[in-house]
Amino acid sequence: MHALPTPLANEIFSNLFHSHSLYCCELDKNTRVINMWGDNTFYDFDKWSLGQDLSKVDFLLGMVFDEPWVMRDVQVAKDNHADIYFSPNVVGKRYLAFISTQYTIERRRENQLRGNHLTLLHERNKKLIFQLEESKNTLITNNAGLTNFIASMSHEFRTPLTSITGYAQLIGDQAGLPNETIKHLSYIESASQHLLSLVENVLDQAQLDTENFQLQRSNVSIAELVTEVTAVVASLASAKALAFSAVMSENCVQFAMLDSLRVRQILINLLGNAIKFTEDGEVKLLIDSSDTEIIITVSDTGPGIDPSMHQSIFDAYQRSNMQSSKPGVGLGLNITKRLVDKMEGTISLLSSKGNGSQFTIRLPFIEADDDFVEEQTQPIPILKSTKAKYVYSLLLVEDNTDISNLLKIFLTRAGYKVDIAENGQVGLDKTRIHSYDAVISDLQMPILGGRELVQLLRKDGFTKPIFALTASEKKSEQEKMLGEGFTTILTKPIQMQELLSKLASALHSEV
Amino acid sequence: MEIESRKVCMVGDFGVGKTSSVERFVSNVFSDKYLTTIGVKVDTKVIKSEKSEIKLVIWDIAGRNRFGNIEFTYLRGSASYLLVVDGTRKSTLTTALELRDSIEDRYGQIPYVMLINKADLQDEWEITEEEIAGLRAKNIKVFVTSAKSGDNIEQAFIELSQSLIEKKV
């Protein structure tokens, strides 16, 4: 390798010298200045003098002057930075050289700032993601707590609702009541039903929010399902003098595996809304199917929904202007949409202001089991009671005297002989003395609860029907209770007709 | 008579407040504007005690960043150093302890104190009282500081200076 030609080296050195403000000192063995070259004013070195000990200068303090070193970007004066080179043995002499970095330092500072901001951003993103994860976990935990809270609140609501609706019904059954009283009773009933539907909606909403919400599919007769729903909503339509029709297409599938409870809920939500908001005209339900889907259409001649609301109408607590004048909190359609989503179906709306509304739901279905279809198509034998005059004896185990008195009145009127026990232990004692045809028991009671009672009764060899009265709608919980020995589960608030019908059915099958 | 000089270095991750701490101590000022340090900036302050006085020569060294580690050459001949940590960024505590280990590998044990800075941002604080107690239990002199409000900055430098005077480092 050859050295650069001397003129070129001189030219480069000269340029560097001018543009980078080179400065150099020769030091003796005691780091004192022997010689100086360059513009010392550029570095504010003008106070430096021959014989000065540079090891005492602030920015050279602590440096060792017996081996070569480089210090980068040292702030050597107020506005000047330089790289400092120390060479202890250049042709036997010691040199300290300064090369200004002032021309590049701002650019490098900007780059470093950008780099630092990027690093901070990255750190903050990581922190944010961590916080989001934590928040998500907290929400999941809180959500579970909230769901339990709502479930227990729901329980607390249902029990008094049984009393309110039941006693209102009892009063209403009396002959010769003044019209004013009948009107007031209808207000009580309507308010109770509204409160009950609110409780149910809020509970459903909470259940849908939990990750463990699961559909309970079973074999269902579509016609039976539609008949049940029609029975509920027809009276509502009739009360408003609206025409109501429910049509099942001839080609519609007859049986399918569906979550009947949830499909029923969807139908009642849509039909209930249609009846609530329609003042004149009619409400129609049409059930049809394709090879893979059940198609439900609910249409009405109500006020219609502005297209701008078609998306938001399915959001929770969203209500259109028309809806805000009616009772409700705006959960029904949201729950409907979420249930349809859970069933992997679709819901669509065709409506405009003043032209009524049409909701169409398409629900994928699985074919019903062959055994079920066969069983459903068999003619139903007509049951005849051989003990028409026999008076069934019931034991009612309930700690809430409002409820036990109410049920006793209804059951006595229906022709049953009713004995009451205020808790499970009293109930157990009574069954050991008297003979009952059935036991109806609450679950949560002092001393001995309903679930403990049923186990002890079955252990005692009691084989008659045992009914549970529960405020819990959890299907899994109800199935567990059936496994524990209960014959039938009745959910509060108790519908008296339902109780009587299930009681009759259970006692007949005992015959 | 010439005052004895003692070199102390500010060491830590980028953006922890090394320059702000020095400015607060030397000039009693604070600026919210963040200007990253390139290379090294040297400031001085004379500390007087009852019996003697020393000149602290404070080397404010560019923090560790994505472009590279700190320049360890600057720490040569340092009588002491201040390890600066940002209390709102836990990672800077890890960096500080790594830097301390690297310094000790190169220059042996040099006395140091730790400043956990940005105490004014308590809402964003990431270093717990337990962690600070843990550091103190390892005989690390820890000061929780705020260059913004000035809390504990002077105390940290003064205490460091006193120990330098007493030990004649």
Which residue among A69, A81, A118 sits closest to B73, beta carbon to beta carbon? A69
Report yes or no: A81 at the B interface, CB cutoff 8 Å.
yes
The candidate with the shortest Cα–Cα distance to A387, out of A510, A488, A487, is: A510
Helices A260-277 and A332-342, packing angle to 10 deg: 150
Give this prediction's pTM.
0.51
The β-bridge relationship of strands A488-491 and B4-12 is unpaired
Q: Which residues, in sequence order, are CB contacts of B116 under 8 Å at separation 6+?
A: B85, B86, B87, B93, B127, B132, B142, B143, B144, B145
Closest chain A residue to the Cα of B2, Cα to Cα: A56
Residues of B in contact with A118 (CB under 8 A): 66
State whether the Cα torsion A189-A191-A194-A199 is positive or negative. Answer: negative
Q: What is the model's pLDDT at position A262? A: 87
Mutate to test the interface with A, among B5, B22, B40 (most CBs of A within 10 A): B40
Closest chain B residue to the Cα of A68, Cα to Cα: B73
Contact of A349 with A305, CB cutoff 8 Å: yes
Please provide the DSSP assignment of A450-464 as one string: HHHHHHHHHHTT--S
Digit-coded pLDDT (tens) for B10-58: 999 999 999 999 999 999 888 888 788 888 999 999 988 777 888 999 9
Q: Is the pLDDT of residue B139 over 50?
A: yes
Q: Do A59 and B40 touch (CB under 8 A)?
A: yes
Q: What is the model's pLDDT at position A384? A: 43
Q: What is the model's pLDDT at position A317? A: 61
Contact of A26 with A35, CB cutoff 8 Å: yes
Q: What is the model's pLDDT at position B169? A: 44
Name which residue leads in pLDDT, B91 or B167: B91
Q: What is the model's pLDDT at position A288? A: 93
Q: Mean pLDDT for each consecutive 10-residue tract of chain A (511 residues)?
A: 77 69 88 87 78 90 89 85 88 87 84 87 84 83 72 71 77 76 76 72 71 78 85 80 88 89 88 90 92 94 88 71 56 88 93 91 90 72 46 90 84 88 93 92 90 92 90 73 88 78 78 45
Cα–Cα distance measured from residue A151 to residue A199, given in angstroms and rounded to the nearest whole number: 9
The β-bridge relationship of strands A438-442 and A393-397 is parallel
Burial letters for A458-492: b for 16+ Cβ neighbours within 10 Å, e otherwise? eeeebebbbbbbbbbbeeeebeebeeebbbbbbeb
Which residue among A59, A109, A115 sits closest to B66, beta carbon to beta carbon? A115
The candidate with the shortest Cα–Cα distance to A123, out of B58, B7, B65, B98, is: B65
Mutate to test the interface with A, among B16, B38, B107 (most CBs of A within 10 A): B38
